[in-house]
Amino acid sequence: ANIPAINMAAKLVVLTVAAWGDGIELVKNGRTIANHIKDIIQPSLCFGLTQKGNPKHPLYLSGESTLMEYK
């Protein structure tokens, strides 16, 4: 994981939309990376949560989807 790059990018953004879906579970250290992003970038938004609690991936969204706070 490139945590230093994530930290640098976090300082540059005004708005963050989390959208990695349940596939994050397949990435080496994916859960650790997701939690790090969630901890350092607040507020974050998402288009809803999967049943596992991950922010939904855009591929599976309808055109009617709206943003909500991701905590």
CA distance 67 to 6: 22
Output b/e per residue, 12-26; b: 16+ Cβ within 10 A: eeeebebbbbbebee
pLDDT of residue 36: 87
Q: pTM (2 decimals)?
A: 0.79
The model's pLDDT over 17-67, given as tens digits with 9 standing for 90+, comes to 999 999 988 888 888 888 888 888 878 899 999 999 999 999 989 889 999
Residue-range domain boundaries for the chain: 3-70
